[in-house]
Amino acid sequence: MWTAVMGWTPPARGSNLPLARDADHEPCNEKSPVPCHVQAKLTIAVDFAKNVFEVAVSAAAEHIRERRRMSRQQFERFWSTREPCRVVMEGCSGSHHWARLLIGLGFEVKLIPPRYVTPYRRRNKTDRADCEAILEADRCAGIHGITVKSEAQQAILSLHRVRSQWMATRTARINAMRGMLRELGVTCALGAERFLTDLHQVVEHNRERLPERIRRMVTLLWEEVRELEGRIESVEEELAGLAKEEPVIRTLLQVPGIGVLTATALYASVGSVHVFRSGRHLASWLGLTPRESSSGERRRLGRITKQGDPYLRTLLIHGARSALLAAARAERAGRSLTHLQAWALERAGEGHTNRAAVALANKLARIAWAVWRHERRFDGDHALHSRPLPVRLPRVPRAAAGSEIEALSSQREERDLRLRAPGQEGGVHIRSLGHART
């Protein structure tokens, strides 16, 4: 089953056999008029750790001709003695740095997701086996590489990661204070900001009930939370400043439900939007498309796949929930709705609000791809301008007579022909049984 899905055939014996056939070259054989070392394209697989680097040099449809295990200094000098060629490595910690360095030297670099390398590893987990697995995964045409991020994009992602950790620490400290006070019979108001605002008053009101050590510890935690909030606010201000400088981020901010956090995280995580052929590919990469389990004539769609970055997916879903609430408030106020807002409210009326929020997040991801890829402003009624509204015919019950079904089919055919040839003299041509008549 795996051979059919992944599109490769594993070697029958160890690494002394050819790894695989390269998609760009025919396999070498004794009858080939061109020598194999001229016909093949050189590929170098790199498996690196903190201070140890394993390198395997291979040509298409040939043996691994060279293996090297080097230190960091030796690894840096290794590339100065090599002609530019193809380099493949796992997309792990430090890979973007080395990819940028090698691209600057003229090498062609491809980063492969580690989860796609694992199925190609045979037997034990070693650096040597990892290099062979990287080479095999590179020869699978269905595996797409990771976009090499710039230093600016990695800096933006670092700001998001630090802010996320500070937010988690803030929540942990607030929960710790609540737990300490509740153990001694003191309850506080719900909501983080309300709890922090009323904390000193609550502690003073229950001064006799709370021991002095507990009061001192709660005060220290409260000061730590306020300090974390100041750091979080400074990071958000820095992200807002970056959003004003980058044109792509300013374009993404026009989409409802996408704020500074979502726009900057999307810009830094995607890298280059041109690697996605359509908006659906971007939504699928974010894990916002249904999980499919189909076979034969049966097609079954389930919950979303939840692939990709959970942080970015969470931001999109929260933003979609905010946009959905804004659309509901606009409808209650009697204001005009865009086509996107009407679509979102229609989805919310069909089922649970959370399901509608996820569906809207999928739609926002596709819209973000469109405005980014085509460099145009957001238009909530773009769907109305791009194609005509469908003409809805009355629904036919399942037990309808055959004559009624034929009549509705004729109406559809007549409507299509009118749309194709408006204002035609001599009447409208109606197709019947594959023949045209007037």
At 94, which helix (H) or strand (E)? none
Separation of alpha carbons 237 and 260, rounded Å: 10
pLDDT of residue 155: 95
pLDDT for 390: 56
Q: Which residue has the tokens 């599109």?
A: 7
Chain-centre distance for alpha carbon 396: 41
Report which secondary-structure segment, H or E, holds 351.
none
Residues (pLDDT < 70) of the chain are 1-40, 60-62, 386-438
Give φ, ψ of 41 to 5 degrees: -110, 130
Query: How high is the pLDDT of residue 20?
Result: 38
The pLDDT of residue 411 is 62
Q: Model pTM? A: 0.75
Cα gap 326→341, rounded to integer Å: 9
